[in-house]
Amino acid sequence: MQPMIIILKDGTDSSQGKSQVLSNISACQAVTEAIRTTLGPRGMDKLIVDGRGKATISNDGATILKLLEIIHPAARTLVDIAKSQDAEVGDGTTSVVLLTGEILKNARTFIEDGMHPTIIIRAIRKATALATKKVKEIAVHIKMDNIKEQRALLEKCARTTLSSKLIARQRDFFSKMVVDSVLMLDELLPLNMIGMKKVTGGSLEESRLVAGVAFKKTFSYAGFEMQQKKYLKPKIALLNIELELKAERDNAEIRLDNVAEYQKIVDAEWSILYNKLEKLHASGVNVVLSKLPIGDVATQYFADRDMFCAGRVQEDDLRRTQKACGGAIITTIENLDDKVQQVFGTCELFEETQIGSERYNFFTGCPKAKTATMILRGGADQFIDEVERSLHDAIMIVRRAVKNDSIVAGGGAIEMALSRTLRDFSRTIPGKEQLIIAAYAKAFEVIPRQLCENAGFDATNILNKLRQKHAENNIWFGVDIMNEDVTDNFIAAVWEPAVVKINAITAASEAACLILSVDETIKVPKSSAEPSNAAKAMNMV
């Protein structure tokens, strides 16, 4: 008898071959099904409650997939591409997953028929290259010289993104806000310079954009209420210094052998704090913000001298204040007077205002206002959270569009155009690849089909209408959600930046290729199984 050779660790799960590819494909399709209904303006939301009981309501593909806690290895690829789409362009996360699922679904029949995956992969690669080229070719460039035109373009892109979100009704309002906020930024368009603050209560339309910084009133000590709450052109000091009466060194101990020394020590401690405060006061600062706590003594000191202070300011808020108002974050109060004032920031107006039940500090009219803050209002926490995610998507799209001025029409139009081009192309090649490219072309139709299905239209009917329009070279015809028909979406101003589509196509194809190329999964059991094995061994002995 042959001796049995154990190569893998006990309990390792391995499966391979054609059936493995097929099983991976079904897993991916199962995941795709989960987010299928969120696509488009008639897409629905999902409510997901996690293990800790926190509820999230979302329509964003990446968010949903993240919360589903997918453990299947192949299906996880989809989560990753959704995430990468989110990171790269911020929107289109649902469509990228749908597209991957559909490519895989169409490839499935070929695998079943015994076609080798590498051939399929090669064909998909070719088709992808072709598709991206086509997108670039037909994308319309909008002249950016005219600020007014640029604005119009950006607003339309933002509107398209927002139309599938919870705030679709208010999309005019919010698209303006998003564009305003992005245009306030500097060339690099850093995302973290747009702050979003959420205050429950109020209606959506009460959300507003602050050209500058706003943050919630921090915890305050007695004396705070006596401080002035409004300054015109204040001088702002941003500190990273603790202004509290406390032990300067934690592990120090003082030994006294004389009572008279006692008072000296106490005085010394006070003078450390007072020194700091006096220096600040002497420098003529009106508003003091600190990342570290500002204690009650300091609060009262400032109140006495008509200065405003806020301690424990969140770091990113402080940074944004710095960006907006200028100045530097000060880590020591020495040399304050020496440098010629450039350590301090300023702005037109500082004010504390009540929003809902919260109080907010506003810094407006900042000289270097390369930052913006959105204050979002709405009925419930989950509601505002979803609004924030939607606006994030819109901001990302607008940022992309600012850098990249070519656009395509959404609502399934670009997908139909690509589908047609690829189908025409496939007929020109001999060999197996013809079939695969045709299948790839068909996969693009999933987007308009799903849009119709979610809206409750007859998908086949609409798709046929679209195919006919596209055959007549009306490349911008897409689904008209409002009237259950097809329409020229370029004229209807359903616009998306071309780069979003290019990224989606490449990401989806790559993911599909990746999944197709895997023919074996080896799953090592969790290490927690080990002690139980050891325990078994112990028992045997």
Partner 1 sequence: MPSVGTLAFDEFGRPVLILKGQESKKRLFGIEAHKSHILAGKAVADTLKTSLGPRGMDKCMVSPDGDITITNDGATILSMMHVENEIGKLLVQLSKSQDDEIGDGTTGVVVLAGALLEHAEALLDKGIHPIRIADGYELAAKVALEHLDKIAETYPLDLKKLDPLINTAMTTLGSKIINRCQRQMAEIAVNAIMNVADMERRDVNFELIKVQGKVGGRLEDTLLVKGVVVDKTFSHPQMPKEVRDAKIAILTCPFEPPKPKTKHKLDITNVEDYKKLREYEKEKFTEMIKAIKDSGANLVICQWGFDDEANHLLLSHELPAVRWVGGPEIELIAIATGGRIVPRFQELTAEKLGFAGHIRELDFGTTSEHMLCIEQCKKSNTCTIFVRGGNKMVVEEAKRALHDALCVVRNLVRDNRIVYGGGACEISCAIEVAKEANKIPTIEQYAIRAFADALESVPLALAENSGYSPIKTLSDVKAQQIAQNNPRLGIDCLNTGTNDMKAQTVIETLIGKRQQISLATQLVRMILKIDDIRLPGEAEE
* Interface of this chain with partner 1, residues 155 to 184, rule: CB under 8 A: 166, 169
Cα–Cα distance, 155 to 157 (Å, whole number): 5
- Report the residue from 283, 300, 434, 474 that binds partner 1 according to the rule CB under 8 A: 300
Distances (CA, A) of 525 to 38, 100, 191, 371: 35, 29, 41, 49
- Report the residue from 205, 334, 424, 485 that binds partner 1 according to the rule CB under 8 A: 205
Residue among 3 and 456 whose Cβ is closer to partner 1: 456
Residue among 7 and 47 whose Cβ is closer to partner 1: 47
Q: Around 413, how many Cα atoms within 13 Å sit in the side-chain half-sphere?
A: 28
Cα–Cα distance, 128 to 535 (Å, whole number): 54
Q: 235-239 and 345-346: which strand pairing?
A: antiparallel
Contacting partner 1 within 228-257 (CB under 8 A): 245-249, 252-257
Q: Smallest gap, in angstroms, from Cβ of residue 218 to partner 1?
A: 15
Cα–Cα distance, 139 to 507 (Å, whole number): 19
- Report the residue from 283, 364, 382, 404 that binds partner 1 according to the rule CB under 8 A: 382
Q: Smallest gap, in angstroms, from Cβ of residue 349 to partner 1?
A: 13
Q: Smallest gap, in angstroms, from Cβ of residue 285 to partner 1?
A: 20
Query: Is 514 one of the binding residues for partner 1 (CB under 8 A)?
Result: no
DSSP, res 243: B
Residue among 258 and 342 whose Cβ is closer to partner 1: 258
Chain centre to alpha carbon of residue 427: 41
Q: Per-residue contact track with partner 1, 336 to 365, x per CB under 8 A?
A: ------------------x-xx--------
- Report the residue from 2, 263, 473, 527 that binds partner 1 according to the rule CB under 8 A: 263
DSSP, res 380: S
Distances (CA, A) of 337 to 333, 340, 345, 361, 367: 9, 7, 14, 27, 22
Contacting partner 1 within 107-166 (CB under 8 A): 166
Contacting partner 1 within 303-332 (CB under 8 A): 303-304
Contacting partner 1 within 424-443 (CB under 8 A): none
Strand ranges across the sheet with 212-216? 212-216, 358-364, 349-355, 230-232
DSSP, res 165: S
- Report the residue from 224, 231, 344, 425 that binds partner 1 according to the rule CB under 8 A: 224
Residue among 348 and 405 whose Cβ is closer to partner 1: 348
Residue among 37 and 434 whose Cβ is closer to partner 1: 37
Residue among 186 and 304 whose Cβ is closer to partner 1: 304
Contacting partner 1 within 33-62 (CB under 8 A): 33-34, 37, 41-42, 44-51, 53, 55, 57, 59
Which of the ranges 112-120, 137-145, 216-224, 285-293 carries the binding residues for partner 1, by CB under 8 A? Answer: 216-224
In this structure, the number of other CB atoms found within 10 A of the CB of residue 191 comes to 13
Q: What residues pair up with 498 in beta bridges, in sequence order?
A: none
Contacting partner 1 within 64-103 (CB under 8 A): 68-72, 75
Residue among 35 and 210 whose Cβ is closer to partner 1: 35
- Report the residue from 101, 234, 345, 378 that binds partner 1 according to the rule CB under 8 A: 378
CB 270 within 8 A of CB 242: no
- Report the residue from 130, 153, 185, 204 that binds partner 1 according to the rule CB under 8 A: 204
Residue among 76 and 370 whose Cβ is closer to partner 1: 76
Q: Smallest gap, in angstroms, from Cβ of residue 159 to partner 1?
A: 16
How many residues in the shown chain lie near partner 1 by CB under 8 A?
A: 86
Residue among 405 and 525 whose Cβ is closer to partner 1: 525
Give the DSSP letter string of 502-530: HHHHHHHHHHHHHHHH--EEEEPPPTTHH
Cα–Cα distance, 511 to 30 (Å, whole number): 16
Q: Can you give 394-462 as a three-state secondary structure string?
A: HHHHHHHHHHCCEEEECCCHHHHHHHHHHHHHHCCCCCCHHHHHHHHHHHCCHHHHHHHHHHCCCHHHH
Burial class (CB in 10 A: 0-12, 13-18, 19+), 76: middle
Classified as helix, coil or strand, 499 is helix
Cα–Cα distance, 212 to 369 (Å, whole number): 6
Residue whose structure tokens are 């799960």: 13
Q: Smallest gap, in angstroms, from Cβ of residue 19 to partner 1?
A: 4
Q: Smallest gap, in angstroms, from Cβ of residue 289 to partner 1?
A: 20
Residue among 3 and 51 whose Cβ is closer to partner 1: 51
Q: Smallest gap, in angstroms, from Cβ of residue 225 to partner 1?
A: 5
Classified as helix, coil or strand, 292 is coil
H helix or E strand, kind and range, residue 288: strand 287-290
Q: Give me the amino acid identity at 279.
A: K
Q: Smallest gap, in angstroms, from Cβ of residue 477 to partner 1?
A: 22
Residue among 364 and 382 whose Cβ is closer to partner 1: 382
Q: Smallest gap, in angstroms, from Cβ of residue 1 to partner 1?
A: 27
Q: Per-residue contact track with partner 1, 2 to 31, x per CB under 8 A?
A: -------------x---xx-xx--xx-xxx
- Residue 378 tokens, joined: 């709405």
- Report the residue from 60, 86, 386, 415 that binds partner 1 according to the rule CB under 8 A: 386
